[in-house]
Amino acid sequence: MNYDASSANSSRPPVLAHLHNAPTAQGLTIPYLTLCHRGRRSPVWGAIDPERYAVVLGLRLCQVCGEALGKGEGPGNQVVVFIRPQDWLRGIGPEPGLHPSCAAYSTRGCPMLAGRMPTYRSNAVAARITPCDDPGCECHQWTMPDPESTEAQRAGKPADPWYSALIDARDYEIIHVDGDESSPSGYGVRLREVPILRLRKVRGTPDNEPTVLDMVAAALDLNRLADGL
């Protein structure tokens, strides 16, 4: 989940120990996936680096720290995927996975997940064609994202409800789906027939109406309760 620190308040989460060497801006760790000017100290908050996105998906990297996601057993080898109700219904999540600790940091540091932004950023897309003053920066070669991409379609739209889904790293799989009337084609995390270990709502909407994922979360809680009896 790509941050937008311009909307963050003064109570930012402390930087995680394993992120102390990562670049920061405005008191927040810059996610590995975020588009940045040269030196990675000047991020374009809300914009995704397409080359890094491909690397993160292809190499099973965490979208925040850029380190490899686990492959074995146990709590240290679990992955969090941030999803929306429409992602669940479609069976694919466009957000790459995160380590649980990086996901916990994101839910506090990302204004979108923390509920401090009513809409997605509208100027992140335009910032791609606004080069900086550094002639050596690759921003002079940036292009606008595909109009059908998730990033372009979200721009300026009301925020969605977001959920964190915890899965076993062995079930973390990147797949491709074709586009339809409401969603573009692309790659993402397979959700269909994947066992969900835990599902939690991290941000709702102003009306806070229940969604299909609230029902899924309730069913998972009931199952855990039954297993404990």
Selection from 4-8, 163-167, 221-225 with the highest mean pLDDT: 163-167
The whole-angstrom separation of Cα 51 and Cα 35 is 9
Residue 194's closest CA among 107, 104, 100, 83?
A: 83
Of the two residues 124 and 14, the one the predictor is more confident about is 14
In this predicted model, what pLDDT tens digit does every residue of 18-72 receive, in sequence order?
A: 888 899 998 899 999 999 999 998 998 888 899 999 999 999 999 999 999 986 5
In the chain, the number of structural domains is: 1
Of the two residues 229 and 110, the one the predictor is more confident about is 110
Strands (E), the chain: 24-25, 28-29, 34-36, 43-48, 78-83, 92-93, 162-168, 174-177, 186-190, 198-203
Selection from 113-117, 143-147, 152-156, 204-208 with the highest mean pLDDT: 113-117
pLDDT at 228: 63
Residue 106's closest CA among 34, 43, 44, 21?
A: 34
| Average pLDDT value for the chain | 86
Report the half-sphere exposure of 195 (CA within 13 A, side-chain side).
7
Residue 47's closest CA among 143, 115, 184, 164?
A: 143
pLDDT at 9: 46
| Enclosing domain of residue 167 | 5-228
In this predicted model, what pLDDT tens digit does every residue of 62-121 receive, in sequence order?
A: 999 999 998 655 556 899 999 999 999 999 999 999 999 999 999 998 888 888 888 888
Residue 79's closest CA among 91, 88, 87, 71?
A: 71
pLDDT category of residue 153 using cuts at 50, 70 and 90: confident
pLDDT, mean of residues 206-215 = 88
Task: Say yes or no to pLDDT of 158 above 70.
Answer: yes
pLDDT at 8: 44
